[in-house]
Amino acid sequence: MAVGIRNPDANITRILRLSVTGECNLSCFYCKPTGKHSDLMASKLSIQPSDVTKLVKIVGELGVRKVLIQGGEPLLRKDAANFVKSSYAHKGVEDVRLVTNGAFLKAFGDQLRKLGLKKVDINFDTLNFVKFQKITGNDSLYRVLDGVEKVERLHFSEIRINVFLLPGVNEDEIINFARLTKDRPLYIRFIEYGYGDKTATNGSNPPSFSIQDAIRTIQNYQALFGTPHKAPSDELEYRVPSFKFVDGKGKMSFLTKNDVLADQAIPRVVLNAQGMLINEKLPNKSFPVIEAIRKDAKDPALHRAIEKVMLLGPSASLFAAKKTVKKTSTAKRGRMAEAQL
């Protein structure tokens, strides 16, 4: 696909989120209040790695630089690792990250790493087997911990463990999680619970265990030191400070409810399990992209439709510009890049 001309300041999302399945093997009480195990986004149309390859080639042309592979639980799919290869289909994609509960990570680790995955988020909230079963309705904590060890041995560049601070459940484990960073290259993210979803608390307001409480608990155990600040980015991790023990190999950060809401405000376009491409910031912008891609991935009308979903406001049109770029002087190209959709 030829490189197009687009205004570098175009207001367009840079992050593609792939929801490769709606199914999950866990029934966490804050995710599924009913405790029922079912497909969250059941659909007869199952997106395939080949679909994602074609889509990434198009959205990469538009400026997407990060791809998140999520579910449900993405590793429920036997072909899950192939989505990593598909996510790198355009040379402009710099960052691919898998988000998982970790139960199948040991089984998939080698294949994921072989196909280029370097970053993984693992979501679990306790190191206690009894608590894990109560939180998730599942007894697979040992497999989750094995999965963490597996990706460590495979030298993933970033292993993030996301821990919800659950009032009355895991406050007593904060130091245990923090201690994981002493001799292991892990990034523990403590996340304040109940960041705006009423279903997470069943409409109630349980006593809050704040981020400040967590920091104070760890500081009483051992002093924390700030890590070097990274350059600004559209990733949440760059907007919150991270800390480590003086003798630690890993690091940790503390995300308030407002931090999480700020992260949710970062523009993303999502391909859901039903094959719909949706602009999360402007959800009225959606398009049944997979059906169209399977018909003709090179159709200019398809490319323009995808671009419209990704745009966050009036901006230059890459694919409209590409039609005439060969007939246009260099001086005119700059003006053309400012044309409105």
Question: Mind listing the pLDDT tens digit for each residue in 306-318?
Answer: 999 998 765 444 4
Least confident stretch, 162-166, 182-186, 328-332: 328-332
pLDDT higher at 3 or 222: 222
pTM: 0.83
Q: Specify if 341 maps to a domain.
A: no
Containing structural domain, residue 139? 15-264
pLDDT at 261: 86
Tokens (6 digits) for 139: 């007894």
Q: Specify if 312 maps to a domain.
A: no
Q: Specify if 177 maps to a domain.
A: yes
Alpha carbon distance 51, 309 (integer Å): 17
Q: Specify if 290 maps to a domain.
A: no
Question: Mind listing the pLDDT tens digit for each residue in 101-137?
Answer: 999 999 999 999 999 999 999 999 999 999 999 999 9
Task: List, edge to edge, every strand of the sheet that includes 269-271.
Answer: 225-226, 242-244, 251-255, 187-192, 158-165, 119-123, 95-100, 66-70, 15-19, 269-271, 277-279, 286-287
Least confident stretch, 47-51, 188-192, 263-267: 263-267
Q: Specify if 311 maps to a domain.
A: no
Q: Specify if 295 maps to a domain.
A: no
Tokens (6 digits) for 218: 């760890």
Indicate which CATH number applies to the domain containing 203: 3.20.20.70
Element (H, E) at 279: strand 277-279
The count of structural domains within the chain is 1
Q: Specify if 97 maps to a domain.
A: yes
Sign of CA dihedral 273, 274, 275, 278: negative
- Asked if pLDDT for residue 6 goes beyond 50, the answer is no
- Asked if pLDDT for residue 16 goes beyond 50, the answer is yes
Q: Specify if 325 maps to a domain.
A: no
